[in-house]
Structure 1
Amino acid sequence: MRTDENYLRAHLWASTAVFHWNCLVALMKEHGEAALEDAAWKASRVREVE
C-alpha cells in the first residue's frame, strides 16, 4: 500500500472524518509531507467527548 493511501485511510477511518482536499493541498504545498504526517498523528489522538 502506498503512503498516500495510508494517509487517506487514516482520515476516512470509520467513515466519520470529513476530508477537505483544499486543506490537504495547501498543507502539502506549504509544509510538505512531514506536516501531513504530523497532522494525521495529532488527529489520531482526538477522542470523542462522552
Structure 2
Amino acid sequence: MGTRSLFLIGMTTCLLSAALIVAGVVGIAWGTAIGMVGIGILGSSAVPRTGG
C-alpha cells in the first residue's frame, strides 16, 4: 500500500514537472514569436517615416 502511494506520488510529481517544463518552453517560444512579429510591425511602420 505504502509503496503504491509513493509510486503514484512520484508519477504525479514527474508528470506535473514535465507539464510545467513544456508550458515554460511553449511560453518562451510564443513570447519570442510575438515579440519578433511586434518588432517587425514596428520596424516596417517606422521605416517609411524615416525615409529608409
Structure 2 length-normalised TM: 0.31
Could you say which structure has the larger radius of gyration? 2
TM-score by structure 1 length? 0.32
Q: Which has the higher contact order (CA 8 A, sep 6+)?
A: 1
